[in-house]
């Protein structure tokens, strides 16, 4: 699990002109969160995304990646019927095209 968390974080931290790494981060996050049965693993994913989504001076993540982390958090924590989930999911689907 630590390697998967590092892969997600690094994929969002890379500031490449193409979106390939962001798409991979979205894919890995959703897949791993969906298949894990351990609450501590789910909490670790939430923790990584929380850290990446914070706007702090010592956080090297760019704005685009920060928004992706925020939307991923919403998708894994929000009620599936909520407007917030639908908007976040739509945003991520659009980014993954």
Q: List the domain boundaries for the chain.
A: 2-95
Ramachandran region of residue 41, left (φ > 0), alpha (ψ -120 to 50) or beta?
alpha
Percentage of the chain lying above the pLDDT 90 cut: 56
Q: What is the DSSP letter of 80?
A: T
pLDDT tier for residue 18 given thresholds of 50, 70 and 90? low
Q: Angle at CA 13, nearest 5°, toward 11 and 19?
A: 55
Please state, in angstroms and rounded to a whole number, the distance separating the CA atoms of residues 68 and 92.
Answer: 7
Please state, in angstroms and rounded to a whole number, the distance separating the CA atoms of residues 13 and 16.
Answer: 9
Tell me what pLDDT residue 47 has.
Answer: 95
> Residues 43-87: pLDDT tens digits?
999 999 999 898 888 878 888 889 999 999 999 999 999 999 999
pLDDT at 22 over 90: no
pTM for this entry: 0.86
Average pLDDT on 34-45 reads 93
Tell me what pLDDT residue 16 has.
Answer: 59
């Amino acid at each position: 699990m630590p390697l998967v968390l590092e892969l997600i974080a690094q994929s969002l931290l890379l500031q490449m002109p193409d979106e390939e790494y962001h798409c991979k981060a979205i894919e890995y996050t959703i897949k791993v969160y969906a298949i894990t049965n351990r609450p501590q693993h789910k909490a670790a994913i939430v923790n990584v995304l929380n850290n990446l989504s914070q706007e702090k001076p010592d956080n090297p993540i760019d704005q685009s990646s920060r928004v992706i982390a925020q939307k991923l958090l919403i998708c894994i924590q929000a009620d599936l019927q909520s407007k917030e989930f639908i908007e976040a999911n739509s945003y991520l689907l659009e980014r993954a095209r």
